[in-house]
Amino acid sequence: MFKFRFRRTLTAQLFWSVFFSICVAITVLIVSAYQLQRQLANEVAGQQLTESTKRIADSIRFMLDTRKEAIRQWSFRHTHTEYGQPLLRDESGLRVLFDNLLVVGADGIIKDEWPDLGIRRGYDVSERGYYREALRSQSVVISEPFFVSNGNLPDIPMINLSHAVRDETGKLLGVVVAGFDLQNNHLLKRIREASVGEAGYVALFSGDNNIIAHPDPQLLMKHVTESDFFQYLKQARQGWNGTVERLNYKQVETLQSFAQLPGYSWVAVSVLPSSEAQENAQLYGKLQTLLFVVVGAVLLLLIAFIVQLQLRKLSLLARDIGRVQSGQRSQISLSGYQDLDRVIDSFNQQLRENQNSHRQLVARQGYLTTILEASNVGMWVADEQGKAEFVNSAATRITGWPSDFFEQGRWLQQIPETYREQLQRHWQQVFKYGRYFSFDHPYEKPNGDWVWVNCQGYPVVRDGELLGSLATIVDISERYEREKALETAANNDPLTGLLNRRGYEEAISLCYRACTKENQTSSLLAIDLDFFKAINDNQGHEMGDRVLRAIGQIIKAQIREQDIAARIGGDEFVVVLCHCNVQQAIPIAEQIRAEIDALELEQSPYVSALTSSIGVAEFQANEYINDWLRRADKASYQAKSEGRNRVVVADNEQ
């Protein structure tokens, strides 16, 4: 016997490759053979099931024909009979075939019944469907299934066979109606109890796809809703007799055969579990599997011997490769086999190229690291969660946090929540859509100071594949402060510290949108100083400037942070009180007026006091900004005309 040790050698790998190839081949053969046997079994079972279903359909048709003929014979015998008298007393033949019988006169009134319940005789059924269908047809009419009330007991599912009786002249004498009880009729009971194979069954469907007979009584009278089953029933009524494989109502794989009853719209369906149809195929498959396994085992033993005998050089080659990998050797020696030596030459050449490439890569990495470290721009390479794989010193210098802070992904925690959520959305766009972004935000240093930075994200893509992202940050604190100062200078009055006209127009536009869209109430104060021109003319502009600064301080002291205060002219001021109605705004306006009136001025023979005329206007629905200010100005002019130093509320103009 030979020894074959299952080690991780090239010989062993070759053996296992052959082993798995044989296993795959055997598996394919087994599966293919099983599928073929299964297909053949299904075809044979399907043919047998189709023939069986056709015989069942013919049997049911014969039984229906027998009952229709019995009704026609009864009608023939009673073409000269008076329909006012009992006609069902001696009809034992019909009683055997049907569960109940009715004789209806030409006037639509029930004349006789069986069984005689004493409640239906004399009842008018002229509007019933089965009666009207019988009048329109010359033959026996079979109704669709319907429920009949049974008092306090559950309703009874029924099917009626009805036939109009006429004399030789065609005059209507009456209608005979014979009914099946779908639950208890012996004909349908035989269908329900019919077995197909050991676990199969037969079901019967009406022309409107209602279940007439089924082994599960809960499904009686149910309407077919599955689209595929509905199509099979439709095809069967068009003459198709065949078998399909599908799940039954218990979700079991089955073979189902369809056959229409000749001369009727009813369809018989035979159902056989697929497992029962494939029993022989499964048995044959097990025997095949056992045979293939035995043959495969013998082949494997033979292959193991051949591999061990013929490929000993591969063990030496594997040993040399291991020494090269461990650094004990720089290349592999030739084996003496021409084919194998070509492999060894290629390997040694590739080994030399890899060593050169490695040296070049190390050199490039050194240059790249030096470049990144020399940059004043903070940089780091990060994954989708923000965890960094590389961080340069500029990033740690700008933020004040060490590199491991970035490597753990904690750098996002030092950004205010509003900015952090926006930055995270930008970050996700980089990985989801490969989009670049640039975003300004504040950043908290370890000592609690804040720095404004510009953060940019770049997708790293190679050959259309997203490998990761590069993030950069630049300190823009000085630029941010300059822009903030410019914005403040552009929107604020340098003398009073209040908003100027430009800032006022931007602020009131926001307030106006809130008033119109959110249905908020706000009030506007138009403040006009009395006698201010006299102060400028007689005491100089420096005194006027001091007065204006004082007025600005008075207004700011009386309003809230969310309110708007602006100087829109030389001595004209506007105050917007957000979320304040006119009743709440009047006391504030009075307080501003009173404090201006109490303002102490230098003694002058020309001006004894400074007062103000204030107009108050509450925002009205569907009002424009200019109309709102115009109403407040109008109220301010009214205050002047009434003697100055007072507050006047604007009229509500529609």
Same domain, 257 and 344: no
Amino acid 606: pLDDT:
47
Phi, psi (rounded to 5 degrees) for 575: -125, 130
- Nearest CA among 257, 251, 289, 254 for reference residue 275: 254
Same domain, 349 and 267: no
The range of the structural domain enclosing residue 75 comes to 49-276
Task: Please give the DSSP secondary-structure letter assigned to residue 109.
Answer: B
The answer to whether position 285 is within a domain reads no
- Side-chain-facing half-sphere of 610: CA atoms under 13 Å: 27
Same domain, 359 and 382: no
Same domain, 233 and 93: yes
Same domain, 207 and 99: yes
Q: Which residues contact 451 (CB under 8 A, 6 or more apart)?
A: 398, 399, 442, 443, 445, 475, 477
Neighbours of 118 (CB within 10 A): 7
Amino acid 161: pLDDT:
86
CB-CB contact of 561 with 576 (8 Å): no
Q: Is 14 exposed, middle or buried (0-12, 13-18, 19+ CB in 10 A)?
A: middle
The answer to whether position 398 is within a domain reads yes
Task: Look up the CATH number of the domain holding residue 607.
Answer: 3.30.70.270
Give the rounded distance of the alpha carbon of 25 from its chain centre: 43
Where a domain ends, among 414, 447, 480? Answer: 480
What does the DSSP assignment read for 368-401?
HHHHHHH-SSEEEEE-TT--EEEE-HHHHHHH--
- Band (pLDDT 50/70/90 cuts) for residue 2 is very low
CA pair distance 379, 192, nearest whole angstrom: 80
With a cut of 60, say whether residue 418 has pLDDT above it. Answer: yes
Radius of gyration of the chain (CA): 50
CA pair distance 412, 380, nearest whole angstrom: 13
- Nearest CA among 538, 398, 536, 523 for reference residue 471: 398
Instruction: Give the pair of three-digit tokens for residue 313.
Output: 């050089």
Average pLDDT rounded to a whole number, residues 29-37: 74
Where a domain ends, among 242, 259, 276? Answer: 276
Same domain, 58 and 202: yes
Average pLDDT rounded to a whole number, residues 233-257: 84
CB-CB contact of 165 with 238 (8 Å): no
Same domain, 563 and 629: yes
Same domain, 442 and 532: no
| pLDDT, tens digit (0-9, with 9 covering 90-100), for 152-164 | 677 788 888 888 8
CB-CB contact of 441 with 476 (8 Å): no
Please name the helix (run of DSSP H) or strand (run of DSSP E) that holds residue 26, with its range, or none.
helix 10-77
Where a domain ends, among 353, 369, 385? Answer: 369
CB-CB contact of 517 with 464 (8 Å): no
Same domain, 408 and 511: no
The answer to whether position 281 is within a domain reads no
- Nearest CA among 201, 263, 257, 213 for reference residue 233: 257
The answer to whether position 230 is within a domain reads yes
CB-CB contact of 458 with 470 (8 Å): yes
Same domain, 364 and 406: no
The answer to whether position 308 is within a domain reads no
Residue 610 identity (one-letter amino acid): L
CA pair distance 174, 77, nearest whole angstrom: 13
User: Distance of CA 43 to CAs 244, 278, 299, 357, Å?
Assistant: 10, 10, 35, 64
Instruction: Give the pair of three-digit tokens for residue 273.
Output: 């579990």
CB-CB contact of 259 with 57 (8 Å): yes
Task: Look up the CATH number of the domain holding residue 225.
Answer: 3.30.450.20
With a cut of 90, say whether residue 615 has pLDDT above it. Answer: yes
| pLDDT, tens digit (0-9, with 9 covering 90-100), for 303-340 | 776 766 666 666 666 677 777 767 677 677 665 666 66
Amino acid 1: pLDDT:
42
The answer to whether position 614 is within a domain reads yes
Catalogue the E-assigned strands of 476-610.
Answer: 523-530, 564-567, 572-577
- Band (pLDDT 50/70/90 cuts) for residue 11 is low
The answer to whether position 284 is within a domain reads no
| pLDDT, tens digit (0-9, with 9 covering 90-100), for 526-569 | 999 988 888 887 877 788 888 889 989 999 999 988 888 998 88
Phi, psi (rounded to 5 degrees) for 39: -65, -45
The answer to whether position 10 is within a domain reads no
Instruction: Give the pair of three-digit tokens for residue 651.
Output: 């009229």
Reduced to 3 DSSP states, what percent helix, strand and coil does the chain have, rounded to the nearest 5? 50, 25, 30
Same domain, 59 and 79: yes
Q: Which residues contact 297 (CB under 8 A, 6 or more apart)?
A: none
Q: What is the pTM of this model?
A: 0.42
Task: Please give the DSSP secondary-structure letter assigned to residue 144.
Answer: P
User: Distance of CA 71 to CAs 50, 122, 139, 609, 640, Å?
Assistant: 31, 22, 10, 121, 111
| pLDDT, tens digit (0-9, with 9 covering 90-100), for 346-375 | 777 777 777 777 777 777 777 667 766 767
CA pair distance 180, 157, nearest whole angstrom: 8
Average pLDDT rounded to a whole number, residues 578-594: 92
Neighbours of 35 (CB within 10 A): 12
The residue with greater pLDDT, 310 or 270, is 270
Residue with tokens 């591999």: 307
Q: List alpha helices for 257-334, DSSP H.
A: 274-277, 279-310, 312-326
Same domain, 259 and 329: no
User: Distance of CA 98 to CAs 114, 177, 188, 261, Å?
Assistant: 10, 10, 11, 20
- Nearest CA among 492, 528, 397 for reference residue 453: 397
- Band (pLDDT 50/70/90 cuts) for residue 616 is very high
Neighbours of 141 (CB within 10 A): 22
As for how many domains the chain has, the answer is 4
Tell me which of 267-276, 386-395, 602-611 is least confident.
602-611
With a cut of 70, say whether residue 285 has pLDDT above it. Answer: no
CB-CB contact of 463 with 487 (8 Å): no
- Band (pLDDT 50/70/90 cuts) for residue 592 is very high
- Nearest CA among 148, 112, 114 for reference residue 128: 148
Residue with tokens 């159902």: 271
- Nearest CA among 502, 523, 624 for reference residue 567: 502
- Band (pLDDT 50/70/90 cuts) for residue 4 is very low
User: Distance of CA 308 to CAs 6, 296, 312, 313, Å?
Assistant: 11, 18, 6, 10
Average pLDDT over all residues of the chain: 79
